[in-house]
Structure 1
Amino acid sequence: MIFQLVGIVVVLLAVITWLLTAPLSPTELTTLAPAALWTHTVEHLQLTLLSAVIVLLVAIPLGIALTRPRLRFLTGPVLAVANIGQAAPSIGLVVLFAFWLGFGFRAALLALVLYGVLPVLRNTMVGLQQVDQRLVEAGRGMGMSAAAVLFKVELPMAVPVMLAGIRTALVLLVGTAALAAFVNGGGLGLLITTGVQLNLPAVLVAGAVLVALLALFIDWAGRVVEHLARPKGL
């Protein structure tokens, strides 16, 4: 994991050095000013992290509920709805929500939530379904309630699979958040759209590289959390 972090830092330093030494036009200097880059990065992180929190609050409880015997019949319809976010083009979702809710942060946020639900939902269900039923029966035989078995047996055993889904969703959200610029949602995608519209290669490259580096950093952070949160012995 350390090599991935070192690689991210090296590439970031190389980009910074290039921006400081490249012959940039006045428009490029203004667009790539440190204050502007910081503002776009914070907006990008806000979009990503807030949508991720909403996804977790929705997908994990829903995934748990769908693995309970009484609600398993809803699995097909719910997964079909959740699959819309992955099946539909991400730019299409962003634009549709923008026309429905108005251009801005909220439309981009809801589009990202729909886009990121499926990996977390599916991995939560798969993780719980892979728990050895003999362990569940043993817990119930010891007098544990269904809730106690869920929180003390099933969820700890399912954590590795669930964390993999969460990390996947985070990386997807970082990349897709760049599309928020098309609906005035902010973020680093604004550098990409500005670079394309005004034919500014330096701005375009800087925006694309920064989004990629942010996605790689989130992936690295997810790996660290996944390693630390994994129950001992698994």
Structure 2
Amino acid sequence: MTDFLNYVQREWGTIFSYTLEHLQLVGIAIVIAILIGVPLGIYLTTNKYLAETILQVASIIITIPSIALFGIMIPVLSMIGQGIGFLPALIALVLYSQLPIIRNTYTAIQNVDPNIRDAAKGIGMTTFQRLTKVEIPNALPLIMAGVRTATVLNIGIGAIAAFIGSGGLGVLINSGISRGNSNMVLAGAVFVSLLALVADFILKFIQARITPKGIK
């Protein structure tokens, strides 16, 4: 343990730099995934047949091992000179995020109390007003739960993405394995875990703050 703590103290600048890279990759991926997944989940509530198809596809994607998905994308993205590095890792994380975000959004909107919808219609709200002022606020806790799941999942998968040159904390794990340096491997694993815990805590706090008081 002393050797590990000494290593962290000695290499703190490098570890911090990798942590920022990891945060950048996961953060951008989650923002893109939300911009795609939440509107898609809302739209799917109007088309149950398409919803089943999209959710099945998303379920299949999330079962593909990350190394295999990276391997598939390398020859495809190589055609535009982006076979390895940040872009394939970003695309993979966005794809892996879709199931929890789409499924939770779809389920949350579907499960909004019909009486609340009827009351909104009764006071003359348009479809868009019902969506933005009634349905989404009531669905927020479950939607945020999906975002939290996707974020923690991506922090873990982001470490594997270092094998294709994306940077981040996975570099420590990869380099440590190559060099037989257990302190590097442990540092990468510990800080990935800490990052996941901190991210989940922050998102849980945000979820609590934005959830309407009436449905807490």
1:53 to 28, 31, 47: 31
Q: 1-side partners of 2:207 and 2:138: how far apart?
A: 13
1:44 aligns with 2:25: no
* 1:20 shift after superposition: 5.1
Shift of residue 232 of structure 1? Answer: 0.9
In the other structure, the counterpart of 1:12 is: none
In the alignment, which residue of structure 2 is the partner of 1:165? 146
Of 98, 121, 128, the residue aligned with 2:74 is 98
- Is residue 33 from structure 1 mapped to residue 11 from structure 2 by the alignment? yes
Q: Distance in 1 between matches of 2:6 and 2:84?
A: 37
Taking the aligned partners of 1:40 and 1:153, their CA distance within structure 2 comes to 41
**In structure 2, how many angstroms separate the alpha carbons of the residues matched to 1:21 and 1:76?**
52
Structure 1 counterpart of 2:200, from 209, 213, 219: 219
| Residue matched to 1:205 | 186
Matches within 5 A, 1:46-195: 46-68=24-46, 71-101=47-77, 102-195=83-176
CA contact 1:97–1:108 (8 Å) conserved in 2: no
Q: For the Cα contact (< 8 Å) 1:194–1:203, is it kept in 2?
A: yes
Q: Which amino acid aligns with 2:207?
A: E
TM-score by length of 1: 0.84
User: Among the aligned pairs, what percent are the same residue?
Assistant: 42
Change (3 A) 1:199 1:107: same
Unaligned runs of 5+ in 2: 78-82
Ranges in structure 1 where 5+ consecutive residues have no aligned partner: 1-14, 23-27
Distance in 1, matches of 2:72 and 2:159, equals 16
2:80 maps to none
Cα separation, partners in 2 of 1:19 and 1:87, compared to 1, 3 Å: closer
Supply the distance in 2 between the matched residues of 1:87 and 1:202 (Cα, whole angstroms).
31
Aligned partner of residue 83 in structure 1, secondary structure: helix
1:36-66: CA deviations, max 9, x gaps? 2122111100110000001000000000001
Contact 2:3-2:183 at 8 Å conserved across structures: no
